[in-house]
Structure 1
Amino acid sequence: MSHRPSLIPCLRYRDAPAAIEWLCNTFGFRRQLVVDDGEGGIAHAQLCLPDGSGMLMLGSAVDNEYGRLMHSPAEVGGCTQSLYLVVADAEAMYRRALEAGASMVIDIRDEDYGGQGFTCRDPEGHVWSFGTYDPWH
């Protein structure tokens, strides 16, 4: 099995520069590549987890052929997908998310299938779940 992720989630944000700051400061992502669109937005960004085990691509919500496919949770009244990140310390991540103003959907708890986790929304409404449950092990 390759250690390089081959499935990379992609999200659109109305304020992508602010989202990048929030995701890095709150969830610990690191900027790998950030391409400004020349108009105050982000044409393309790649954020990686510090250990290299995952990547997220994102950009500013725009009205083009790809942008019309991608809608913010606020536009559609909810999400059609969510992201799950395996973490070593769910309680520490929970505290960081709370301190950063994440909206909790499911408070931290022990899961029936193992591990401990929680689910929250980022400032633009994307749903994120974090837990110690690792489905690979």
Structure 2
Amino acid sequence: MASPIPTGREGLIPHLVCSPCSEAIEFYQKAFGAESAGCLMAPDGQRVMHAEILIDGKVIYLADDFPECCGGSERNPKALGGTPVTVHQYVKDCDAAYNRAVEAGATPMMPMCDMFWGDRYGIVTDPFGHNWSFATHQRDLSPEEMQQAMIEAFEQADAAQGA
């Protein structure tokens, strides 16, 4: 009897719609060191029906856009004018991960910086419209320390905008 949850597929799995998906797979391999875990082409032989990649051993599903199967409209971030979703990854060296993604063709969205919650953090957007953030945890803060650091960070940002 088959397991209701396949081994290695426990927990949440991001499922990204990319256009074109085959180029996204190549980009993710170059930018994030992704490994291919399988690819099923659509009957048209041109689009990816379902692909799986592994980044640091974690599964991400990918597919081309199939508007004919999804209510007649495209669902990839570029067609939608962007995405509010960010795929987040903790890494040992977030600056190196960020720079690797940018060198591979990602667009810097938020430069790497030390954040009030104790992480070094930055965001890029890949050529297919998906946001990726990288962080390296630097220090542990209590909830009270984090709250105070947030207030100070926002006060500094407000003062800089008023200058």
Matched-pair contact (CA < 8 Å) for 1:88–1:132: yes
Q: CA deviation at 1:25?
A: 1.1
Which amino acid in the other structure matches residue 86 of structure 2?
S
1:104 counterpart (105, 108, 120) = 108
The size of the alignment, in residue pairs, is: 130
1:12 counterpart (13, 17, 26) = 17
1:21 counterpart (18, 26, 37) = 26
Identity, in percent, stands at: 29
How big is each residue's C-alpha offset from its partner over 1:67-90, in whole Å with a ceiling of 9 and x where there is no partner?
757612222222131110111110
Query: Structure 2, unaligned stretches of length 5 or more?
Result: 1-7, 139-163
Matched-pair contact (CA < 8 Å) for 1:13–1:59: yes
Which fold has the larger relative contact order, with Cα–Cα distance below 8 Å and residues 6 or more apart in sequence?
Answer: 1
Q: TM-score, normalised by structure 2?
A: 0.72
Query: Structure 1, unaligned stretches of length 5 or more?
Result: none
- Describe the shift of the 1:36–1:119 C-alpha distance in structure 2 as closer, same or farther (beyond 3 A): same
Per the alignment, residue 49 of structure 1 pairs with 55
More helix by share: 2
Q: CA deviation at 1:5?
A: 4.3
- Describe the shift of the 1:119–1:5 C-alpha distance in structure 2 as closer, same or farther (beyond 3 A): farther
Partners of 2:73 and 2:15 lie apart in 1 by: 12
> For the aligned residues, what is the CA RMSD?
2.1
